[in-house]
Structure 1
């Protein structure tokens, strides 16, 4: 799968990238803010892991909506999951930080609709 990481904390982004690469996915890139995200506008993205608070403020929700409009599977990954009480239309859900490698692997598989997974991973809070 082709995955975009939207995260401003470089160590967190690099750890996610390593995990995803180890799982055989292609990381399209890392976007720490809205301007950087726009550089990936023409990329084919299957799944995006999106933090809420980025270098330019709380722009993660808008980025998540934009990716969902492009039919990417959007999972918010944040230390502040309560900020998404009502969810975000078109996106899948939220994974609390810190997240284990297994949790990341499970939510990416779920978001990409790969495999016969019948229910969402336990760590993922779905938006209805």
Structure 2
């Protein structure tokens, strides 16, 4: 579970598959964090007026195409670190400079916990 500091992160999800998005939300909650917003495209993300996320979980391919890497770059510019959650690890590694980690699907609670432990809450 959470480290002894018991910190809670606000986690944004960019995932176009509703079943995977639901699974991620459940894992986030099970780890004691807050799934704050789940979107299926980068274009939706750009319309969000106020980002209060501590981090984001991002798929490579979203509803509006292979826009996950651009979303990660955009979020990094806003001070929000991202983690790729993808079935395309080799492709994700091409964009590794935009994220703090890469998780291969399907992800386990332990993998997510380890990845989120690298994030410092805002």
Map 1:1-128 → 2, pairs under 5 A: 1-110=9-118, 112-113=119-120
RMSD after superposition: 1.6
Q: Relative contact order (alpha carbons < 8 A, sep ≥ 6): 1 or 2 greater?
A: 2
Q: State the distance in 2 between where 1:45 and 1:38 align.
A: 14
Shift, 1:10, TM fit: 0.5
TM-score, structure 2 normalization: 0.84
Aligned length: 113
Q: State the distance in 2 between where 1:107 and 1:17 align.
A: 15
5+ residue gaps, structure 2: 1-8
CA contact (8 A) 1:5 1:50 kept: yes
Q: State the distance in 2 between where 1:45 and 1:24 align.
A: 15
5+ residue gaps, structure 1: 115-128
Shift, 1:78, TM fit: 0.4
Shift, 1:100, TM fit: 0.8
